[in-house]
Chain A
Amino acid sequence: MACPFCSLLCDDLSLSVSKGNIAVTDNGCRQAKLGFEREATVEFPRINGKRVSQTAAIAAAAKLLRRAQRPFISGLGTDVEGIREAVHLAEKSKAIVDHGNSAGFDGGMRVMQSKGWYMTTLAELRNRSDLVVIVGADLVNHYENFVRRFLAPKQTLHLAQSKPRRAYFVGDQSVAPKSTKACMIEGINCDVTRVFEFMAALRASIAGRALKARRVAQASMTEIETLGRAIKEADYPVFVWAPAHLHGTQADLTIQSITRIIDDLNKTQRAAGLALGGDNGGMSAANVCAWLTGYPLHVSFAGKTIDYDPVQYRTSALLEHDAIDTLVWIDAIGNAAPPATNPGIKRIIIAPNQAEQSSNADVFIPVGVPGVDHAGAMIRTDSVVTIRLDQVRSSSSPSVRKIIHSIVGQL
């Protein structure tokens, strides 16, 4: 079965279902268990906490949106179909639309839009990369299956069976993944707030420029030079990072410092990058919004034409600056509660059967989880593969697509 609970979208899980409750029996991870094993409860649409029919809740949501002056549609924790409808809803209601966790993968987008980059995908890494440099990405807590599925598979197309794959983990060693028989992972401790300095030193070392410093970002120059040599000797080194795991304001800088090394290497040998992120529908949202509007999220339909502004129209900024009067929060996948908003902001919450999500909502409409309660499709972290999701248990919960489509129909 395929799992919608992170952007790796693993499709080799085994599940058992009993009375609507699901257990992950094989190939799961922490996120998969949290998601699939959430207790199935029965929830009802509510207006101001009072139980109403779905029709009434949809009509109330439409009414709020008709009256709204500055509506904002976010969360977007849903599948491709849900996101398609959410973008349509944004256009109809002259709203701003963004993903709830856009800050977690924005950094990459800005680097891409300013300089571009050379990237790869999971199967290329799995079958071809003889050296993987993991830069700060917390695989252990967030992408647990990455090691088993991509770094240490039983067989590959192009790597020698006789020796283990080599990998380096650069960053805080307390979250370093462990070596396996098929993949030897070495750690280089690095101050997570100064990874871009480490990368600058690595770039200089690869280019053969000597640095006077003996330590950079807590790492010794010897370690950096050893890594540089290994990269130069490798056939297909791949750098793996997760924008959300890089230190706050320096994420852009760090990603750019990595992509520059890749650009340098590609002049004479081969190398590529792989970004992990866009969980909870984020990668799907960026792609769907790009094909429907031209822009990867951060889009406003308030004016005569579409307006793209990745600084202004970002969930965190809009909520913080009180720039909206109505929030439509869609999250059929994540486990987190909707964000707090200032008093007076109308809240339309579209989420699965979770009681705490209905509190504080002017309108709450329960929906099913894609890949659990209904079929769907989501786009993977490498932005290439779209995984088809199955319905795992019988369910009467509607999809986000269906609910939003109904609201759109009333605007």
Chain B
Amino acid sequence: MLTRLRGAKVYDPTNGVDGKTQDIFIRDGRIAEPPTNIRAADKTIDVRGCAAMAGGIDIHTHIGGGKVNIARMLLPEDHDRDLVARGRHPRMGCGHAAPSTLTAGYRYAEMGYTACFEPAMLPVNARQAHMEMADTPIVDKGAYALLGNDDYLLRMLARKADEEQVRDYIAWTLTSAQALAIKVVNPGGINAFKFNQRKLDLDEKNEAYQVTPRQILKALAQGVQSLGLTHPLHIHGCNLGVPGNMHSTLDMIRGLDGIAAHLTHLQFHSYGLEGDRNFSSGAAPIAEIINANPNISVDVGQVMFGQTVTESGDSMQQYAGHIFADPKKWVGMDIECDAGCGVVPFRYKDKNFVNALQWAIGLELFLLVDDPWRIFLTTDHPNGAPFTSYPHLIRLLADRSFRNDMLATINSDAANASHLAALKREYSLYEIAIITRAAPAKSLGLRNKGHLAPGADADIAVYRVHPNYERMFSNAEYVFKGGRLVVQKGKVCDEPIGTTHVARVDFNPTIEAEIEQYFDRYMTMKKDRMMVSDDEIRDHGRGKLKIHRARRRA
């Protein structure tokens, strides 16, 4: 069957299409070449006057796994304020800061998003993360496996293991956890916190292993690059949230010596120490170094005002931050010689100097980083704000007068301390399409996604154009997932199962024997029982698996 979307204004940056009015054809789940005779279409949907883009891709959103589920259990009062009535979606659920899996999938789809990536999957918790993602409907998904605080890797680095062995371990972890990429969180710091170290700077040694964050970062970033993975090491650096941490961030970028890296939720790592309150924006120097280093990509982790919950593997910094918990409760955990986590509810307040400045710093980064192909739109859901605030964020980026109106309402000292008012840039729809779909797809190596050329997956979002972009992007007019109509007039009408994307690269089997021995000696389950199989993801046809094969670089 050939479906024609008639007369859309198409924003497809991958193919250089900037608002041109054209038809989009769909056949067998993919974008099709226009037929010679337009009447060949079996079905025509009139979308004249609407903007069409590839489905949105969230490169960093906490949608599944242990800490997400802890947040759900911790916050019944937050769910109570955002319950989904029977009939609104195919299944009931709850939304807001820690939404149920079902509601998360539906709401992403309603906003025109068709793929979401969980950025912090603990290898020991991978099965649960995948099970939760399997219950996240419509969207495609994938996850990044956490390394860098696990005793296995730290032992390797402490005994100065061969780089080849580290690469094999990374490759094995990808397979075992069914991951698409590798993430590091507070390198070595989560482990150090288990030994009661309360901070760990870039060149400070983890006392138990005498290994520094810089060593861990380099080993992993280099390893990921040599393995030929498309998405570079996904880095949540040292000192998250600590005033003055911009210096660790700058130092880390310089230290990477050109190795590719993705710095996530950069806003939380861009703080200076200037001013009466020793808290200032580091956005300008951070943006400058990013502009100068094409090996670096970032996502912002924008803060929005209101109630949310912060969920992080960074037990060290979450411990430090728990005194600000609102409501006053939090959960911390040391996890299975693998990592840790901290779940701290939080309310960002526009009249609070620090929160208001965090908001401004995020926006400054968006506006000061020149290349939209290297900066992605995120709130680090739900850490900066729930993902449902994306339409509001898009309006802030694209509408300077709205932005300045908002700026006038925040804590005035913070507003005065920020350069935001002077930044004239406004994102165009073309640039919005880059930072929300084209660039994330490219960064993750999803060649058939994020664009609308013939052959691409027919994941398409059609928005009714409105001068208020918040309204425009809140509810898509039509969303197609793999060619199937899943949203109509902002309401979910079908819920196909999304595909799980994983990366795979060969490894030397001797590493597997060593890991097996380690598990038998020290762990609380067998190595084979930790590994998640392809069949478990496919689950007798309930799930789909797409394996992206990587080739080692010479």
Q: Which residues of A contact B (CB under 8 A)?
A: 2, 11-12, 80, 84, 88, 91, 109, 112-124, 126-128, 149-150, 153-158, 235-236, 266, 269-270, 272, 286-288, 290-296, 301, 304-306, 308, 377, 379, 382-388
Contacts and interface: CB of A to CB of B under 8 A. Distances in A.
Contacts of A158: 208
Interface of B: 64, 66, 68-70, 72-74, 76, 79-80, 83-86, 91-94, 98-103, 122, 124-125, 127-128, 131-132, 135, 151, 193-196, 208, 319, 325, 328-338, 343, 521-526, 529-530, 536
B92 A91 contact: yes
A292 B69 CA distance: 10
A121 B79 CA distance: 27
B73 A119 contact: no
A105 to B, nearest CB: 12
B194 A128 contact: yes
A265 to B, nearest CB: 10
B125 A292 contact: no
A370 B102 CA distance: 25
Which 3 pairs from chain A and chain B are nearest by CB? A305-B83, A294-B94, A116-B329
A254 B125 CA distance: 29
Contact of A123 (B68, B84, B99, B522): B522
A387 B91 CA distance: 28
B348 to A, nearest CB: 20
A345 to B, nearest CB: 25
A18 to B, nearest CB: 24
Contacts of A296: 72-73
B100 A116 contact: no
A290 B70 CA distance: 9
A2 B524 CA distance: 12
Given A123-B524, A126-B524, A294-B76, 16 more contacts: A11-B526, A84-B135, A113-B74, A113-B76, A120-B334, A123-B523, A150-B524, A157-B151, A286-B73, A293-B93, A293-B100, A295-B76, A377-B536, A383-B66, A384-B124, A388-B127
A114 B329 contact: yes
Contacts of A379: 128
Contact of B124 (A293, A308, A377, A385): A385
7 contacts: A11-B529, A155-B521, A157-B522, A290-B69, A301-B86, A385-B525, A388-B536
A305 B74 contact: no
B91 A91 contact: yes
A123 B194 contact: no
B85 A305 contact: yes
A291 B136 CA distance: 9
A48 to B, nearest CB: 33
Q: DSSP class of B's interface residues: helix, strand, loop or mixed? A: mixed
Contact of B92 (A2, A286, A301): A301
B84 to A, nearest CB: 7
B92 A112 contact: no
A89 B426 CA distance: 49
Contacts of B332: 116-119, 266
A306 B92 contact: yes
A306 B95 CA distance: 12
Given A155-B522, A384-B336, A294 B93 contact: yes
A8 B530 CA distance: 15
A154 B520 CA distance: 11
A114 B521 CA distance: 38
A183 to B, nearest CB: 16
Contact of B86 (A116, A120, A304, A377): A304
Nearest to A295: B76
A119 B333 contact: yes
A386 B132 CA distance: 12
Contacts of B74: 112-113, 116
Contacts of A127: 151, 337, 522
Contacts of B536: 377, 388
A293 B131 contact: no
Contacts of B86: 301, 304-305
Nearest to B344: A116
Contacts of B522: 123, 126-127, 153, 155-157
Contacts of B79: 294-295, 308
A119 B319 CA distance: 12
Nearest to B67: A384
Nearest to B132: A291
B524 A385 contact: yes
B543 to A, nearest CB: 12
A294 B100 contact: yes
A336 B331 CA distance: 34
Interface centre among A84, A293, A295 (most CB of B within 10 A): A293
B73 A305 contact: no
B536 to A, nearest CB: 7
Contacts of A119: 331-334
Contacts of B343: 116
A292 B99 CA distance: 9
Contact of B334 (A80, A272, A286, A386): A272
A292 B319 CA distance: 28
A293 B92 contact: yes
B85 A304 contact: yes
Given A123-B523, A301-B92, A385-B525, A308 B329 contact: no
Contacts of A157: 151, 337, 522
Contacts of B100: 291-294
Contact of B331 (A117, A124, A295): A117
A115 B525 contact: no
Contacts of B525: 11, 385, 387
Given A291-B100, A387-B525, A124 B135 contact: no
A127 to B, nearest CB: 6
A384 B93 contact: no
Contact of B69 (A11, A287, A388): A287
A58 B98 CA distance: 35
Contacts of A384: 66, 122, 124-125, 128, 333, 335-336
B195 A270 contact: yes
